[in-house]
Chain A
């Protein structure tokens, strides 16, 4: 491979890649990201290869192994170009029909199309799916379209053009100012101005500087970073190289969770390929600029998403945060000026450089620019990744894109920002989603997890869940976080187990505010958010738990019983057969009964009953 030395080398390569491609050729895009792979997409691909070979079609049809399409729930996902036909939940048994009907005859296999659970209508193409229609895909555009292990696919999609522009037509200072003017804010949680961070670091006096890409996506319920690293790794690497050039860093570190093996694999391949093409390493594109990237695997510590803890972890120690200042931009990795950007933040950089700060700052709201990828999960009909313009309302995201609540249940709350965030109730459903509105509502943007809850979700339990999570993840270095979490968790556990008493709510509130004002790092300072936000919006639910000893959602085990509504039960026997404790009795076609003394509240009967006859009391 000839190394890319100049702008025209890259342009020539791009043209020659595109020239070799026939836009009319049938290309089958199969997702090989975590979600689809979990649903056995590898088996589907090998069945597809076999069938194409059997039919002598291997030359006429191209199979492209892509990253995440965003509609993970419907995996394995297959898209057939050029018509962009979208097939979902494809199994190896479907392959013969797909090849015979769609590839050879141009017909649609209707049973594999996506069907709207509400309107019962089928959708034929990828772009017409409700989940995709209202999205504005800027950062996740390539994911699901290109082969993430093929650098030429990225180059064909204008990849590395921004790097070319940055190195050849811009000074480091100009890049920093462009990023500042774009209004880009950090996508990892804090929402700090990226340009300002770069400006501070580039002004710091030192010959040695570092850049760290934070791919330690720790928030439970968020997976946009994983999808981006798996599906479009070069975008992150290109952003990193530009950032390094802007601040004068010679080495970069990509810190990725160990739980994301495919992301690590794709990033490693991308680094190796970028080096081979002369886009990374020594003397990048013949400009004399040297920059190398190494990957660090996280070892399962949530607190390492905090920047000072992450730095200490890269230094090879246990990752406990330290107090700031000094900020890492002055004194970071091995005491040198360091910038730490989330991988999605870095994924924004190439387009800002290529299209300009004005273009970027026209997208979004006054205080929050650009687009943001959210992971829309929980009790919503269409779950997956959605990229929308900042300022899109919660209603648009949950109801228009997400299709509303499953099983026609009632929307109760949406949790954003992971363990540092909060729960937003129905009264705020028309709120625009941006950094400032979310903060005002008592939640935060965080990394972009959006977990939708319905009437079967208990808000006290959710608060306890997050505290339990943080209790295990607190590093224990500072007292407010270590002891505060323990006490708050103790009180919440009492409430959930039916031992709540007068004064609990006041104690929780006091402890929460104390932790916010006195904790050492962001983990402790935001740990009370899930409790305080649920107390603010769902106060009554706490009262019912404490004073009436009831859990209306049917989650807190000691505070509810399952019962069969005899007027609804038709005696189908399904619950009786499935009950692992043989706690259900009743004759066929006659109402059944649950023996509450034997019942372990596993919920199997509740989930199996087709007539909703099993109720929570």
Chain B
């Protein structure tokens, strides 16, 4: 846990209970997920019940209680993407990297998620890896899209 950064986040939000969601979003931004010891620390520092924090962590889709891979693949499953074949793309990704939605590969290279709608419907079907968007995806393109990420040297 990066206590220094967590403290800065808590300070920024003035330990306000109403800001707990923003605090958790910021912490996840730093830690990549929400480690249990960090949540316990926040609960103690903010004098906020741990059950409320876990309630929020499990209610909102954005939060993850397990570590994510180096690259997060987000497959848009909005209506336009669904019509364009998002399910077939998702299945092809699952076959290629051998994990299901919500999982991370054993080598911690990829995490696979689906997202309700990225608001890029005119480019459907869309998938995003980290910050890179890929439009008009079809199962035939998946391998080509994924392979450069595997070769990227670790930072």
Q: Do A and B come from one complex?
A: yes
Task: Enumerate chain A interface residues (CB-CB to B < 8 A).
Answer: 34-35, 37-39, 71-73, 75, 217-223, 226-227, 257-260, 296-297, 299-302, 313-319, 375, 377-379, 383-384, 415, 418, 449, 451, 453, 457, 462, 465-466, 469, 473, 475, 578, 580, 600-604, 607-608
B155 close to chain A: CB less than 8 A:
no
With A301-B59, A578-B140 given, is the CB distance from A259 to B83 under 8 Å?
no
With a cutoff of 8 Å between Cβ atoms, the chain B residues found around residue A222 in the complex are: 117, 119, 121
With A220-B77, A221-B79, A316-B20 given, is the CB distance from A38 to B60 under 8 Å?
no
The proximity string for B residues 118-155 relative to A, scoring 1 for CB distances below 8 Å and 0 otherwise, is: 11111110100000010100111000000000000000
With a cutoff of 8 Å between Cβ atoms, the chain B residues found around residue A297 in the complex are: 21-22, 25
Could you tell me if A301 and B122 are in contact, using CB atoms closer than 8 angstroms?
no
B116 close to chain A: CB less than 8 A:
yes
Out of A221, A223, A258, A375, which one reaches B62, CB within 8 Å? A258
A-B residue pairs in contact (CB < 8 Å), sample of 21: A35-B120, A38-B135, A39-B123, A220-B78, A220-B116, A223-B119, A223-B121, A258-B62, A297-B21, A299-B25, A299-B62, A316-B56, A319-B60, A384-B122, A457-B83, A469-B77, A580-B92, A602-B88, A603-B88, A604-B138, A604-B140
Could you tell me if A72 and B122 are in contact, using CB atoms closer than 8 angstroms?
yes
State the total of A-B contacts with C-beta under 8 angstroms.
156
Could you tell me if A453 and B83 are in contact, using CB atoms closer than 8 angstroms?
yes
Residue of B nearest to A260 (CB): B119
With a cutoff of 8 Å between Cβ atoms, the chain A residues found around residue B16 in the complex are: 316
B44 close to chain A: CB less than 8 A:
no
Residue of B nearest to A301 (CB): B60
The proximity string for B residues 50-85 relative to A, scoring 1 for CB distances below 8 Å and 0 otherwise, is: 001001100111110000000000000111111101
Could you tell me if A38 and B139 are in contact, using CB atoms closer than 8 angstroms?
no
Could you tell me if A378 and B117 are in contact, using CB atoms closer than 8 angstroms?
no
With a cutoff of 8 Å between Cβ atoms, the chain A residues found around residue B60 in the complex are: 299-301, 318-319
In the bound complex, what is the Cα–Cα distance between A418 and B78 (angstroms)?
10
With a cutoff of 8 Å between Cβ atoms, the chain A residues found around residue B88 in the complex are: 601-603
With a cutoff of 8 Å between Cβ atoms, the chain B residues found around residue A469 in the complex are: 77, 116
Could you tell me if B56 and A318 are in contact, using CB atoms closer than 8 angstroms?
yes
7 nearest CB pairs, A to B: A38-B133, A300-B61, A220-B78, A299-B60, A318-B59, A72-B122, A221-B79
Could you tell me if B79 and A451 are in contact, using CB atoms closer than 8 angstroms?
yes
B19 close to chain A: CB less than 8 A:
yes
In the bound complex, what is the Cα–Cα distance between A227 and B25 (angstroms)?
23
In the bound complex, what is the Cα–Cα distance between A378 and B119 (angstroms)?
13
Residue of A nearest to B122 (CB): A72
Could you tell me if B139 and A603 are in contact, using CB atoms closer than 8 angstroms?
yes
Could you tell me if B126 and A258 are in contact, using CB atoms closer than 8 angstroms?
no
With a cutoff of 8 Å between Cβ atoms, the chain B residues found around residue A75 in the complex are: 123
Interface footprint category on B: 35 or more
In the bound complex, what is the Cα–Cα distance between A462 and B77 (angstroms)?
12
> Which chain B residues (1-59) contact chain A, with CB distance < 8 Å?
16-22, 24-25, 52, 55-56, 59
With A38-B135, A297-B22, A297-B25 given, is the CB distance from A465 to B119 under 8 Å?
no
Given contacts A317-B52, A317-B56, A378-B83, 16 further A-B contacts (CB under 8 A): A35-B120, A220-B77, A220-B80, A220-B81, A220-B117, A221-B79, A297-B22, A299-B63, A302-B116, A313-B21, A316-B19, A318-B56, A318-B59, A377-B121, A418-B79, A601-B88
Chain A nearest CB from B31 CB (Å) reads 16
Chain B nearest CB from A508 CB (Å) reads 20
Candidate in B19, B60, B83, B133 with the most chain A CB atoms within 10 angstroms = B83
Could you tell me if B135 and A602 are in contact, using CB atoms closer than 8 angstroms?
no
With a cutoff of 8 Å between Cβ atoms, the chain A residues found around residue B25 in the complex are: 258, 297, 299
With A300-B60, A415-B79 given, is the CB distance from A34 to B120 under 8 Å?
yes
Could you tell me if A35 and B122 are in contact, using CB atoms closer than 8 angstroms?
yes
Candidate in A297, A317, A449 with the most chain B CB atoms within 10 angstroms = A317
With a cutoff of 8 Å between Cβ atoms, the chain A residues found around residue B123 in the complex are: 35, 38-39, 72-73, 75
With a cutoff of 8 Å between Cβ atoms, the chain B residues found around residue A578 in the complex are: 140
Chain A nearest CB from B125 CB (Å) reads 11
With a cutoff of 8 Å between Cβ atoms, the chain B residues found around residue A318 in the complex are: 55-56, 59-60
In the bound complex, what is the Cα–Cα distance between A607 and B92 (angstroms)?
15
Residue of A nearest to B138 (CB): A607
Could you tell me if B138 and A299 are in contact, using CB atoms closer than 8 angstroms?
no
Chain A nearest CB from B43 CB (Å) reads 13
In the bound complex, what is the Cα–Cα distance between A601 and B139 (angstroms)?
11
Candidate in B59, B117, B122, B133 with the most chain A CB atoms within 10 angstroms = B122
With a cutoff of 8 Å between Cβ atoms, the chain A residues found around residue B55 in the complex are: 317-318
Out of B21, B77, B85, B133, which one reaches A316, CB within 8 Å? B21
With a cutoff of 8 Å between Cβ atoms, the chain B residues found around residue A449 in the complex are: 79, 121
In the bound complex, what is the Cα–Cα distance between A47 and B77 (angstroms)?
33
With A39-B135, A297-B25, A449-B79 given, is the CB distance from A602 to B92 under 8 Å?
yes
Could you tell me if A38 and B21 are in contact, using CB atoms closer than 8 angstroms?
no
With a cutoff of 8 Å between Cβ atoms, the chain A residues found around residue B77 in the complex are: 220, 469
Out of B19, B82, B118, B139, which one reaches A259, CB within 8 Å? B118
Could you tell me if A299 and B122 are in contact, using CB atoms closer than 8 angstroms?
no
Chain A nearest CB from B6 CB (Å) reads 17
With a cutoff of 8 Å between Cβ atoms, the chain B residues found around residue A313 in the complex are: 21
With a cutoff of 8 Å between Cβ atoms, the chain A residues found around residue B124 in the complex are: 377-378
Chain A nearest CB from B142 CB (Å) reads 9
Could you tell me if B78 and A221 are in contact, using CB atoms closer than 8 angstroms?
yes
Out of A39, A217, A379, A384, which one reaches B119, CB within 8 Å? A217
In the bound complex, what is the Cα–Cα distance between A220 and B125 (angstroms)?
12
With A449-B79, A603-B139 given, is the CB distance from A301 to B117 under 8 Å?
no
In the bound complex, what is the Cα–Cα distance between A254 and B17 (angstroms)?
18
Chain B nearest CB from A99 CB (Å) reads 27
Residue of B nearest to A421 (CB): B79
With A38-B123, A318-B60 given, is the CB distance from A465 to B79 under 8 Å?
yes
With a cutoff of 8 Å between Cβ atoms, the chain A residues found around residue B63 in the complex are: 299
